[in-house]
Structure formats: structure tokens, C-alpha cells
Amino acid sequence: MANTRLVRHRPRRREPARVPGEIFQMEHSYLDMTPRTGPCAITNIPPEILLMIMDHLPMPFRLSLALTCKGFYNTFRILTSNEPDEMETSSMLYIWQRDIPNVYLCFWCHKLCPLNQDRNWEGQNDHGCSKSGLFGDWDLVHKHIPQQQIPLIWHPVLKEAHLSFMEAYLVMDRHFYGESHGLPLSTLERHSKFEKFIILNRTAINDRDDWDDNLRKVLRVSKACKQTVFDVKPQGSKAKAFQAPWRFSFDSIPKIIDNELYIARTHTVEGPMVGWEHLQSGSCHYCYTDYDISLQRDKDKKEWRLKISTYHFLGACRSPADLLWEYLVRDVCGPLNPLYWEMRNRHLGMDLGKARRRWHEGDEGDSP
């Protein structure tokens, strides 16, 4: 007992949980530069030195160190009286996934899940997790902006335009950690084209059902509605209402530039000659999205070609709470929304045109 030394240590105040995006910054700032020693050497660290080390480690790194051996776990229990919460556990798993091939962290269920690299995100076993709606996906149904609602009546490419955060996250995992992690950049590419016969200047069903297989159900419920969009040209007397089909195409091309994700999307519509005067280039004041609208007439074919190109800056996609992802997927529904007043002046601090400019300047489109 004479040689026994007691180490006194005051309890550490519980620190705020760090989200995986912050952990990613810490990983690349100092963790990768820290020399790694063998397991025998680290177990010989004196207890008082180990306590000092653990006292200065963020909770996720402290948890990882504690689980390496029983002695470290007992030391961890001395420093930490509270059980790790869900965010701290998720941050720890985020660190682990970097060194474990063919797994990924699911942000919805906070578990490490097996990754099937032969399938896209839709083909992964747990993509239907019950918490999948916890964070917003990038969708093109409708958006609310202050004092105005913009409905999108044209919905021909809803499936192709939809982007889950986990898709972007896994692609960036592959970029940061190599081929044994995540999914290739090509999984974010989207291409779609089709034709429709459309009756103009008639009251249409103000819903995307006018474009899909549910149209017949809607018509049975409301006899006042008349079908205005057809997959094939109607025959008989109705054929006179159609000059030519409208051709739609959608292309979405991703690039990774300076470790951040950019996506350019192009909507193209070709159809019979109609009047159109609005040609414009601009930027969204609420997210990092720029757009170009162009119109070309072909008098020989007696048709016009409308092309809408959008450029999106998504950042590093390390957490669904990342600011750029929040800008992209969150709506503003009026002054009661806590983000309403911030969004009114957000454009003053934004680099409008950045997404378009970096997309055309960047040449880092290929990723492992």
C-alpha cells in the first residue's frame, strides 16, 4: 500500500455533442497527422498520462479509445458518468467507418450497415429505414418562399430528380476514403427522355397525376376533369388536336471540385411552335443554385426548343445537418419559421453565381 499512488481528477463537465460534419473537419486537421504506435506501447502509458489524454479528447474519440481494451474502458468510466447519447454514438461510428471497408453509417438508425457496392442507394438493404424522413431529401414537388408559393405543374421526371442525402453522402465517402467505401460518382448521374402529346389552352388537372398512371383514377373521381396529356397520339376525331409530340429530356451530371459536390441539371423541352419571350439567367437567393434559360426556334421543323439548366453547390455532404444541404432541402413557410428572417437577407452573404462558375471551371468530374 505504501507504493500505491492515488490519482485525483475532477469530473469533466459534459461537452456538447459534435455532429459528424464537425468530426470530419477534426479528422482531417490533426487526427491523420498523429503518429500511430503499436498496441503494446500504448497500453504501457502511465494512468495519469492516459487520464490527461482522455480528458482532452472529444467524446467520440474518447469512446473509440475506451473500447480498445478493458483497462481503457475502466479509465473512461472514471472520467464519464453519463452514458453517451445518440449523437455521440453516431459520431463515434462515423469515425469507425473510415477504417472498416464495405460499411457505412446510416444517419437515420445510427448504425453501421453493410454496403453492397454492386448496387446503388435504392438497392441497399436498409434504405427503407423508419427514420428515413428525419432529414429532408432533395425533391422537386413544390417549394415555399416568403409570401409566395411556386407549384410545379410539370412533373415528368420526379423519380430522376429526387436525391437522398445518403446518396450524396456515400459518393463523397468513396471520394474521401477510397474504393472500399461508398459509391462511385456515376451513381448520381440521371438521364431520362420521353414524348407526350399535349392539348394546350385547356384547363388541365393541376397535379402531377396528369403525367402518370394515376390519371385514370383521378378522372373517374372527377368527371369534370379532362385528360390533357397522352402517352400516344389519340386516334379518330381527337387526332386533329395534336400537331406533333412534345419531347422531354432530363440530364443530371455530378462533379467533385475541391472535395465538394456540384451537380448540373438540364431540362429540355421540344415541341410545336408557341410564343415565349422570357430568357433569363439568375441565381436562387435561398440556396446555392444558379440557372440559365434558353430558347431556340427551328422554323424549318416548325418547333421550338426550351432548355433550362440549373447548377447546384452541395458542399462536402458529411452530415444531413450541413448548412448547404439545409439550404437546399428546407422550405420557408412564413414569419413563424425561425429561418424566415435569416433567409430574407441570406443572399447578401452568398456568392451568387458560384455554382455555375465553378461547374464550368472545374475539371475534377472523375472520382474513384
**152 three-state secondary structure:** coil
Kindly indicate the confidence band of residue 256, based on its pLDDT and cuts at 50, 70 and 90. very high
Does residue 93 sit in the same domain as residue 169?
Answer: no
The chain-wide mean pLDDT, for the chain, equals 72
Residue at 121 is within a domain: no
pLDDT for residue 91: 82
216 pLDDT higher than 80: no
Domain that holds residue 49: 20-97
Does residue 293 sit in the same domain as residue 189?
Answer: yes
Of 45, 72, 51, nearest to 7 by C-alpha is 51
Highest mean pLDDT among 34-48, 114-128, 191-205, 307-321: 307-321
**79 three-state secondary structure:** helix
Residue at 13 is within a domain: no
pLDDT for residue 142: 46
Residue pLDDT, tens place only, 291-345: 988 877 777 777 788 888 999 999 999 888 888 888 888 765 555 556 666 777 7
Does residue 64 sit in the same domain as residue 179?
Answer: no
Chosen domain end from 97, 127, 153: 97
Does residue 235 sit in the same domain as residue 356?
Answer: yes
Inter-residue contact 255 to 364 (CB < 8 Å): yes
Above pLDDT 70, what percent of the chain?
62
Kindly indicate the confidence band of residue 6, based on its pLDDT and cuts at 50, 70 and 90. very low
Does residue 169 sit in the same domain as residue 35?
Answer: no
Q: Cβ of 350: how many Cβ atoms within 10 Å?
A: 16
Kindly indicate the confidence band of residue 359, based on its pLDDT and cuts at 50, 70 and 90. very high
Interatomic CA distance for residues 168 and 327, integer angstroms = 15
Residue at 134 is within a domain: no
Work out how many domains the chain is built from and give that number: 2
Does residue 258 sit in the same domain as residue 150?
Answer: yes
Going by C-beta distance under 8 Å and a sequence separation of 6 or more, which residues neighbour residue 167? 120, 121, 183, 187, 188
Does residue 199 sit in the same domain as residue 286?
Answer: yes
Inter-residue contact 198 to 208 (CB < 8 Å): no
Chosen domain end from 97, 127, 152: 97
pLDDT for residue 286: 79
Residue at 117 is within a domain: no
Does residue 78 sit in the same domain as residue 219?
Answer: no
Highest mean pLDDT among 23-27, 139-143, 162-166, 340-344: 162-166
Kindly indicate the confidence band of residue 262, based on its pLDDT and cuts at 50, 70 and 90. very high
Does residue 93 sit in the same domain as residue 151?
Answer: no
Chosen domain end from 97, 129, 156: 97
Residue at 350 is within a domain: yes
Does residue 168 sit in the same domain as residue 86?
Answer: no
Residue at 267 is within a domain: yes
**18 three-state secondary structure:** coil
Does residue 162 sit in the same domain as residue 256?
Answer: yes
Q: Which three cell numbers stand for residue 152?
A: 410545379
135 pLDDT higher than 60: no
Does residue 177 sit in the same domain as residue 247?
Answer: yes
Residue pLDDT, tens place only, 45-60: 787 887 788 778 887 7
Residue at 112 is within a domain: no
Kindly indicate the confidence band of residue 9, based on its pLDDT and cuts at 50, 70 and 90. very low
pLDDT for residue 21: 57
Residue at 203 is within a domain: yes
Residue pLDDT, tens place only, 272-283: 775 544 457 888
Strand partners, 311: 264, 290
User: What's the whole-model pTM score?
Assistant: 0.65
